[in-house]
Amino acid sequence: MTNDEIVDSLNDLVKINNDRINGFEKAAADIEDSELASLFKNLTSQSRKFRSELADSIVRMGGEVPGIEETSTGSKIHRAWIDIKSAFTGKDRHTVLESCVFGENVAVEEYEEVLEDEEIPAYIRQTLSTQLDELRQTRDQIVTLRNVTE
């Protein structure tokens, strides 16, 4: 994998985190459940942190970082966030959490796919592995909350 290909993969992850930021900000603003609003605000912060860490690696490799407005339009994660946003019309806790689980599963899959490449530098691999672990924990937390609402 060339530097440009690594930068492209990292930019895809930045866009996924942009989707998460936009989705969780919308979720926090629209949900009437204070527990979920707090969770979504924390996940917005997590996504911003991930984005910043990815941006550092991209710059270090000589690449350019996509702006916050650039999202993964046309991708599975974008469709997941559309589902999350539309779930708020009914503001049903279970439906919102189900949509979040779907979105987090897509994010986890994208990170796993990038990490399959053995040519990713060790310092980037460490960052991605740490972020992936946190994403899995987040997903598991949301799954638990969803299951409690069934």
Identify the pLDDT of residue 81: 58
- Kindly tell me the sign of the dihedral angle through the C-alpha atoms of 130, 82, 95, 36: positive
Distance CA 55, CA 7 (A): 10
* Averages of pLDDT over each 10 residues, the chain, 150 residues: 91 92 83 90 97 96 81 57 57 80 90 95 97 98 90
pTM: 0.87
Written in H, E and C, the secondary structure of 10-47 is: HHHHHHHHHHHHHHHHHHHHHCCCHHHHHHHHHHHHHH
- Structure-token pair, residue 62: 């000589």
Identify the pLDDT of residue 32: 82
Among residues 47, 140, 32, 134, the alpha carbon closest in space to that of 93 is found at 32
CA dihedral 109, 110, 116, 121 (to 10 degrees): -140
- Structure-token pair, residue 105: 């599963």
Identify the pLDDT of residue 13: 95
Residue pair 16/73 in contact by the 8 Å Cβ criterion? no
What are the domain boundaries of the chain?
3-62+73-148
- CATH architecture assigned to 3-62+73-148: Up-down Bundle (1.20)
Single-letter code of the amino acid located at 79: R
